[in-house]
Amino acid sequence: MLQYFLIAMILGVLFVNGWTDAPNAIAAGVSTRAMTMKQGVVMATFMNILGGFSALFLGKKVAKTVFFLGDFSPDRRGTAALAAALLAVILWAVIAWRFGIPTSESHGLMAGIMGAAMGLGEGGISLTAFGKVLVGLAVSVGLGYLLGWLFARWFREVKFPVSFWKWGQRVSAALMAFAHGLQDTPKFASMLMLIAGTGFSMDLRAALLCSVMMGLGTLLGGGRIIRTVGSEMVQIGQKEGFAADLAGTISLFISTMQGLPVSTTHAKTCALMGAADRVDRKIAGSMFLAWILTFPACGLLAFFLTKLFLLFQF
């Protein structure tokens, strides 16, 4: 029964991920009217699923990093700790969504796993895997911003028809959604592997289940995040939107190939900031504050929930 509850938690996190994280992929395209909200959501849903399926072949390094981040035994205690980690991510993501702030479920998952591992008091945390998490954080923020800045300034000097930038932004948004599915699906598929307790592996069923649930979340929500990121935080045109989508996509692809678990939210939001001429500092500041708080908040929530679940022999 506990394993089924844990699977439900994983599916819940995936749904919330598609609800709050994946909309970043289409925020620029919708805000510049390169596509309608409906077109963007349908496209992002399909590309997320396609990216999740491709993770079966290209995302194993990311899944391996997450799998070995915390040492969880495949027994009742280990399963309870994993459930606590996932519940912490869901609670934090829903709170942030209520205020229209795009948090990172990937970032929260890493923190939740570590908090739960410490709450369990067994085995501990892999410093090698944790190092990759820190490197991934730097890459998603730094590379996303830098490439967004460079591409935007280059594109402003290029004279192409308006239709080129419109279609270019549609394609780049699709690639961004694909990269999101490719990066995030293996993280949560690795949780299914931990439940199974059969060692590290990644099969078709886990990849498809994760990607479809994430796509469903995108299909049913996301408008609040799109308005915050694409319209209220920055002022951009189609050239800048194209630049931000390309920057975010490249950042995610490089990270995935290197096995670095990174955040689509961090990569795309920083790419938008780099590409835009004008950024609302108040909104950007609240967003960065939420990002800073995500790690300790999810870590502490997971730690205390683990203690609570173990106390009541959950």
DSSP string, the chain: -HHHHHHHHHHHHHHHHHHHTTTHHHHHHHHTTSS-HHHHHHHHHHHHHHHHHHHHHH-HHHHHHHHTTB---SSHHHHHHHHHHHHHHHHHHHHHHHTT----HHHHHHHHHHHHHHHHTSS-B-HHHHHHHHHHHHHHHHHHHHHHHHHHHHHTT----HHHHHHHHHHHHHHHHHHHHHHHHHHHHHHHHHHHTS-S---HHHHHHHHHHHHHHHHH--HHHHIIIIIIIEE--HHHHHHHHHHHHHHHHHHHHTT----HHHHHHHHHHHH-SEE-HHHHHHHHHHHHHHHHHHHHHHHHHHHHHHHTT-
pLDDT, mean of residues 251-278: 88
**Percentage of residues in the chain having pLDDT higher than 90:** 13
Residue 294 has what pLDDT? 85
Instruction: Select the highest-mean-pLDDT range: 112-126, 141-155, 162-176.
Output: 141-155
Q: Is the pLDDT of residue 198 over 60?
A: no
Instruction: Select the highest-mean-pLDDT range: 99-108, 141-150, 178-187, 228-237.
Output: 141-150
In this prediction, residue 119 has a pLDDT band, given cuts at 50, 70 and 90, of confident
In this prediction, residue 197 has a pLDDT band, given cuts at 50, 70 and 90, of low
Q: Is the pLDDT of residue 251 over 90?
A: yes
Q: Which of 281, 270, 213 is nearest to 22 (CA)?
A: 213
Q: What is the domain partition of the chain in residue ranges? A: 2-311
Residue 153 has what pLDDT? 92
Q: Is the pLDDT of residue 146 over 80?
A: yes
Identity at 49, one-letter amino acid code: I
The encoded tokens of residue 126 equal: 């892999």
Q: Which of 26-40, 160-174, 175-189 has the lowest mean pLDDT?
A: 26-40
Residue 178 has what pLDDT? 92
Instruction: Select the highest-mean-pLDDT range: 76-90, 124-138, 206-220, 247-261.
Output: 247-261
Q: Is the pLDDT of residue 236 over 70?
A: yes
**In the predicted model, what is the mean pLDDT of the chain?**
81
CB-based contact 216:46 (threshold 8 Å) = no
234-235 vs 278-279, strand pairing mode: antiparallel
Higher pLDDT, 267 or 4: 267
Q: Is the pLDDT of residue 229 over 70?
A: no
Q: Is the pLDDT of residue 170 over 70?
A: yes
